[in-house]
Amino acid sequence: MRRPHIRSVAVAIAVTTAATGLAGTAFAGPDTGVERSSASTTSNATAVVEAARTAAFAHTAATGVSQGDELHAQDVMADPEGARHVRFVRTHDGMPVLGGDLVVHLDHKLAYTGVTRAADQAVKPATTRAKLTAGQAAAKAAQAAKGEADSAQLVVDARGGAAALAYQVTVTDEQGTNTVVVDAVTGKVRSNTPDSDEFLSPKLLANLRKHGETLDPATGAASASPEAGLLGSGVSGATRYPSAASGTGKTLFVGSVGLTTTQTSRGHYQLKDPSRYGTETRDAKGKTTEKFSSGTAFTGTTNVWGNGTTSNRASAAADAQYGITKTLDFYKNTFGRKGIANNSKAAQGMVHWGNKVANAFWDPTCNCMLYGDGDGQTFKKPLVVLDVTGHELTHGVVDATAKLEPTYVDSDGNQYGEPGALNESLADIFGSNVEFYAKNAKDTPDYLIGEKLGLAQKFLRRLDHPSLDKLEGTIDYWSSDTYYTEVHAGSGVSSHAYYLLAEGSGKKTINGVAYDSPTYNRSTVTGIGRTKATAIFYRALTRYMVSTTDFHDARVATLKAAKDLYGANSTEYKTVDKAWGAVNVTAANTPAARH
């Protein structure tokens, strides 16, 4: 995983009307459908933001906002029952505050009801006088990340329980970019984090090499009948171009599938979907570019993409385009979310990225998925499997909402800490939901992650009993040592809680896959169903999580979400509490100081 760690402060207001639950979910409020966009919601966005900003400064003891702070709206979320939530990033004396994000909650009358904040302490640094020059900070960042540094920007680093004056620097090498934060007084490197999300961590790749294990996914049958085209995607006597067309992707992993493409002229097609914001997959042709425009468009005269084998460069592209569009469909049709950032923009992909790259990752620099072809040894095929794409694009969703960040990164690039582990967990949770949504016969929907990668243990991670993953050492339950656990391994805590909430404890067979989920306290948990569990986790992510949210915070966030959706006395609310208790996350063992 290569997590985007720090982002420049956004000042534009994005009006979000992402759904709070799944279609058909019964809400506690008067509206029983998914959330919907309305002209009045959009036109009132400025008033909502001003009400939230005013409330933040009026309730300083709770919000932590103080003199010198400015709040910049990043998201305005409207709930069917009338509540509003405004997500802010913060500047202090004009400097962006890292870890200064907060969400102000309002009722239907725009009255203040509470806040969710990342920094528990004041964000004012002890000094605003830097001892290092910007040039010196850039040089230190370049040395730390071993690349070429851009100009250094003064920021306030409020992560880790204290606020300090620092420089933020972007460093670029041939593999991408890192964000480096350098203390402006001491010169110490406070953090050095890659800006993209790798699916396979350095620790996992090292373990695979150590055990001599290769990842060689079994490919599907390209001769299967394609799925039915999407409604309205066909072309009937079209004389104006470009226009939507119904194509076929002959993929590596999911057989032949229907793809909506673009007919550019009579008998000529491009692997670009006009019905999904122009989402497109291109060929990087071995380059390590982070500019989507540098990729080569896939074009053809047959509207058939690939042949089901790696001998055809378009086969991997068909998998990627299918996975990206299915993920977009899942988020839109389940939550009303229009695109990864809910801004009706394309989610793009580039296959054949780099030279012998054994990974795939979400890259916020180009707002796209990048897929390597494998190194030919440890990993022998492009990592374009469906749940991998769902997992990685969910990192993009998290980056557009809570921006969950790892606590620290070691010299090998492995990341640690509960917020980062929660990020990985959410990517697994929603990635598995993409499989359930797609219902592809060649990729049975399940609660396993990476089950098609060809591993000896038959999966990479699993949600029902995470510790069965021996490659990453994933954990089932929370303990005080979880803070020091690599994020993929630590993800098991909240993934396990989600599975228990959805399906319950004990033995169960779903779609032919056997599960047997244990509990920390030997309790029995009866699940509320995947639909409701997913609604609760999504609402918690978008409304009640911030960059520093840990597992105990996540418990509170999901309880608040369950209360919003179903009521505080509901079975759903009580089961959320039971599920977290079953992974040893309780109110009683909440650490005194978490951030």
Domain positions in the chain are 45-117, 134-195, 217-222+241-382, 416-583
Phi (first) and psi of residue 342, to 5 degrees: 60, 35
Residue pair 554/546 in contact (Cβ under 8 Å)? The answer is no
Q: What fold, for 416-583?
A: Neutral Protease; domain 2 (1.10.390)
Q: What is the pLDDT of residue 220?
A: 63
The full length of the chain comes to: 595
Residue pair 115/104 in contact (Cβ under 8 Å)? The answer is yes
Catalytic residue among 227, 290, 392, 435: 392
Domains 45-117 and 134-195 share a fold: yes
Residues 6+ apart with CB under 8 A from 419: 404, 405, 406, 407, 547, 548, 549, 550
Q: Which residues of the chain have pLDDT under 70?
A: 1-43, 218, 220-239, 593-595
Distance of alpha carbon 497 from the chain centroid:
18
Q: What tokens does 209 get?
A: 């090499």
Residues 6+ apart with CB under 8 A from 483: 407, 416, 417, 418
Catalytic residue among 85, 105, 488, 595: 488
Q: What is the pLDDT of residue 151?
A: 95
Our separate counts of H helices and E strands in the chain read 13, 29
Q: How far is CA 90 from CA 120, 157, 158, 168, in A?
A: 14, 11, 11, 15
Q: What fold, for 217-222+241-382?
A: Elastase; domain 1 (3.10.170)
268 given a catalytic annotation: no
Q: How far is CA 463 from CA 32, 418, 427, in A?
A: 29, 17, 11
Q: Rounded to an integer, what distance in angstroms lies between the CA atom of residue 533 and that of residue 498?
A: 7
Q: Rounded to an integer, what distance in angstroms lies between the CA atom of residue 249 and that of residue 442?
A: 14
Per-residue DSSP letters for 535-590? Answer: HHHHHHHHHH--TT--HHHHHHHHHHHHHHHH-TTSHHHHHHHHHHHTTT--STT-
Q: What is the pLDDT of residue 239?
A: 63
Question: Strand order in 299-300's β-sheet?
Answer: 299-300, 268-270, 256-265, 243-250, 304-305
Taking the whole predicted model, whether its pTM rises above 0.85 is answered as: yes
Q: What is the pLDDT of residue 221?
A: 55
Q: Rounded to an integer, what distance in angstroms lies between the CA atom of residue 360 and that of residue 339?
A: 20
- DSSP-derived 3-state class of residue 246: strand
Rounded to the nearest 5 degrees, what angle is found at the Cα of 212, between the Cα atoms of 208 and 213? 60
Taking Cα atoms as reference points, which of 526, 522, 583 lies closest to residue 551?
A: 583
> What's the per-residue H, E or C state across 359-422?
CEEEECCCCEEEECCCCCCCECCCCCCHHHHHHHHHHHHHHHCCCCCCCEECCCCCEECHHHHH
Q: Rounded to an integer, what distance in angstroms lies between the CA atom of residue 488 and that of residue 373?
A: 22
CATH annotation of 45-117 = 3.10.450.490
Q: Which architecture does CATH list for 134-195? A: Roll (3.10)
Q: Rounded to an integer, what distance in angstroms lies between the CA atom of residue 192 and that of residue 143?
A: 11
392 given a catalytic annotation: yes
Per-residue DSSP letters for 184-215? Answer: TTT--EEEEEESSEESS-HHHHHHHHHTT--B
DSSP 281: E
Taking Cα atoms as reference points, which of 18, 13, 14 lies closest to residue 539?
A: 18
> 109: exposed, middle or buried (C-beta count within 10 Å: 0-12, 13-18, 19+)?
exposed
